[in-house]
Amino acid sequence: MSPSSASSSSATSAPGAGKFKLLLAVVPYVALYLLAIWLVALTDSNADPGRIRVLWQGFVPAVGLLAIWGGWQGMKASAGGLRPYLLRQVLHWLATLLVIHLLFGETLQAFLATEVHGFVAIYVMGLSAILAGIHMDWKMGLFGLFLIGGGVGIAFLDDNAMLLTLAAIAVVGVVLSLAFLRRGSH
Q: How far apart (Å, rounded) are the C-alpha atoms in residues 53 and 38? A: 14
CA 3 to chain centre: 45
Is residue 171 within 8 Å of 179, Cβ to Cβ? no
pLDDT in the model for residue 161: 61
Buried b (16+ CB within 10 A) or exposed e, 54-81: ebbeebbeebbebbbebbeeebeeeeee
Q: What is the pLDDT of residue 3?
A: 47
**Dist CA 50 CA 124 (whole Å):** 18
Contact 140, 66 (CB under 8 A): yes
Residue 177's pLDDT is: 62
Give me the pLDDT at residue 5, please: 45
Domain ranges, ordered by start, for the chain = 30-185
Rounded CA separation 176/98 (Å): 33
pLDDT at 130: 93
Q: At what angle do helices 49-70 and 138-156 cross, to 10 degrees?
A: 150
pLDDT 10s digit of each residue in the chain, 186 long?
444 444 444 444 455 667 777 677 778 888 888 888 888 777 766 777 778 888 888 999 999 998 888 887 667 666 677 788 888 889 999 999 999 888 877 777 777 776 677 788 889 999 999 999 888 878 888 889 888 887 777 776 655 566 666 677 667 767 766 676 566 555
- Kindly report the CA angle at 106 between 102 and 111, in degrees rounded to 5? 90
- pLDDT at residue 31, rounded to an integer: 86
pTM: 0.72
